[in-house]
């Protein structure tokens, strides 16, 4: 099929993926459990198909263009052209770019092209998951087969499971620097179809371990599809900071899932920042199954004309004395679309739960639209839970004040928009990542201000 080939129906699109997955799996060696995992994943997607907007959980995400587009996998041999594009893209990351000395894995269209881990202690594993699957798959078997079932894109990820990052930090150890995983989407010469990547990242922190993991997604402006799944397993009293930065091109489809599981006393902090892509859906599911565990979730999405960004979170309080804090913000411009769908579940035995959830959205144009759906599902009375959502335009009093101080209307609107988003960016502790995000937020502002002034 050609780059513009489209399946006649969504069902045809699933059938094409099934054929591709069968060819992919048949060319791979591996233990029976891994082959079964891949084939079960595709069988699950074939059975259920892609969800539609008639499904409540997917009502804000239009998958029709994605499901009807035929994508291909990039050849294993990364070409010089791909490497050149990758260098150009990575250079755009500023302080987090090519000159950054810290540990890093760089993938191009799902294939590892660079690994830098010389600053890490030998007891901290930071490796290509594909290498581990080929040489020592038993090291990741338990985590992989424990992945949540029933999600169509996780099932699809299972079907093409072969690449991604593996992080394992041993008991009592702390990774001295952020572990950076860069996923780059480029065009590949000789491939007739736009490219898709199915990335699986595993993070395992043993008891009293700690790490910061940064995932960056960046791409050209060509059509592409990224389907990323990250599983993080936190042992007792482990500490994880996970930061996701999504900066792909304006024709990119991106579906990402992050699963966090917490043992007793474990804590996680999740950051999601989305500035790129045409259709983007980020899902986070955190299970607080250990007493005294906790999670904090921060998210900022900016959608301009032609972009749709959906954020879905589930925090499951399944044990006593756990706490959660969630702050998500959206900035919508042009005819951009956004959605926040967040649910906090408090189980019957999860007494002394403390949960706070906040969503705020800023609308910059008459055509922009955002849906907000904060939810609390509480099954016992011994809790302290709050949630709230606001959506509005730039405050007129603040705008008047800044204009009275000599700022133009465009500059005043840009400053207030930046201040709105920077509250979330300020939660990032890693200096290089914070600097990158501040730069990206600044870069997004002129279009917003121009649109408002138009």
List pLDDT tens digits, range 118-176.
Answer: 778 888 999 999 999 999 999 999 888 776 777 999 999 999 999 999 999 999 999 99
Residue 192 has pLDDT above 90, yes or no: no
Residue 451 has pLDDT above 80, yes or no: no
Would you say 107 and 198 are in contact if contact means Cβ atoms under 8 Å apart?
no
Least confident residue range of 92-106, 211-225, 307-321, 399-413: 92-106
Computed from CA positions of residues 90, 221, 428, 104, in that sequence, does the dihedral angle turn out positive or negative? negative
Instruction: Decide the pairing of beta strands 104-108 and 111-116.
Output: antiparallel
Burial (0-12, 13-18, 19+ Cβ within 10 Å), 62: middle
Rounded distance, CA 335 to CA 330, Å? 14
Is the model more confident about 87 or about 293? 293
Would you say 243 and 271 are in contact if contact means Cβ atoms under 8 Å apart?
yes
Query: Residue 423 CB: number of other CB atoms within 10 A?
Result: 13
pLDDT of res. 27: 81
Q: Which range in 13-17, 19-23, 77-81, 347-351 is most confidently predicted, on average pLDDT?
A: 347-351
pLDDT of res. 5: 61
Rounded distance, CA 205 to CA 266, Å? 10
Q: At what angle do helices 32-48 and 152-159 cross, to 10 degrees?
A: 140
- Strand locations in 104-249, DSSP E? 104-108, 111-116, 124-128, 165-169, 179-185, 195-205, 210-219, 224-234, 239-247
Is the model more confident about 211 or about 58? 211
List pLDDT tens digits, range 55-82.
Answer: 888 998 888 889 889 999 998 888 888 8
* Mean pLDDT estimate for the chain: 91
Q: Is 277 left (phi over 0), alpha (psi -120 to 50) or beta?
A: left
């Amino acid at each position: 099929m050609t780059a513009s080939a489209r399946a006649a129906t969504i069902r045809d699109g699933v059938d094409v993926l099934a054929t591709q997955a069968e060819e992919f799996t048949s060319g791979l060696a591996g233990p029976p459990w891994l082959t079964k995992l891949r084939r079960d994943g595709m069988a699950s997607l074939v059975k259920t198909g892609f969800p539609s907007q008639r499904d409540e959980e997917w009502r804000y995400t239009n998958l029709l263009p994605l499901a009807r587009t035929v994508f291909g996998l990039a050849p294993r041999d990364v070409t010089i052209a791909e490497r050149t594009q990758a260098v150009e893209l990575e250079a755009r990351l500023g302080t987090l770019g090519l000159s950054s000395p810290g540990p890093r894995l760089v993938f191009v269209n799902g294939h590892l092209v660079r690994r830098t881990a010389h600053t890490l202690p030998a007891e901290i594993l930071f490796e290509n998951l594909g290498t581990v699957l080929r040489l020592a798959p038993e090291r990741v078997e338990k985590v992989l087969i424990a992945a949540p079932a029933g999600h169509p894109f996780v099932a699809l990820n299972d079907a093409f499971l072969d690449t991604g990052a593996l992080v394992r930090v041993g008991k009592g150890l702390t990774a001295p620097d952020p572990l950076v995983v860069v996923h780059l989407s480029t065009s590949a010469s000789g491939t007739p179809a736009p490219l898709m990547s199915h990335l699986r990242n595993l993070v395992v922190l043993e008891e009293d371990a700690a790490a910061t993991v940064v995932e960056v997604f960046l791409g050209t402006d060509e059509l592409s599809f990224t389907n990323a799944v990250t599983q993080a397993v936190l042992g007792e009293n482990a500490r994880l900071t996970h930061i996701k930065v999504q900066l792909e091109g304006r024709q990119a489809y991106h579906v990402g899932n992050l699963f966090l599981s917490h043992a007793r006393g474990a804590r996680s902090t999740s950051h999601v920042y989305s500035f790129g892509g045409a259709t983007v859906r980020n899902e986070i599911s955190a299970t607080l199954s250990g007493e005294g565990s906790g999670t904090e979730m921060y998210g900022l999405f900016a959608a301009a004309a032609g972009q749709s960004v959906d954020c879905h979170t589930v925090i499951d309080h399944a044990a006593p004395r756990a706490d959660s804090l969630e702050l998500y913000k959206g900035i919508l411009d042009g005819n951009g679309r956004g959605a926040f769908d967040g649910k906090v579940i408090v189980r019957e035995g999860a007494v002394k739960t403390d949960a706070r959830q906040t969503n705020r959205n800023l609308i910059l144009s008459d055509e922009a639209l955002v849906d907000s759906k904060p939810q609390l599902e509480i099954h016992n009375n011994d809790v302290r839970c709050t949630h709230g959502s606001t959506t509005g335009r730039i405050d007129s009093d603040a705008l008047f004040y800044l204009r009275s101080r000599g700022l133009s209307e465009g500059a005043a609107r840009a400053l207030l928009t930046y201040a709105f988003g920077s509250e979330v960016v300020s939660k990032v502790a890693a200096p290089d990542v914070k600097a990158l995000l501040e730069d990206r937020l600044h870069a997004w502002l002129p279009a917003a201000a121009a649109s408002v002034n138009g």
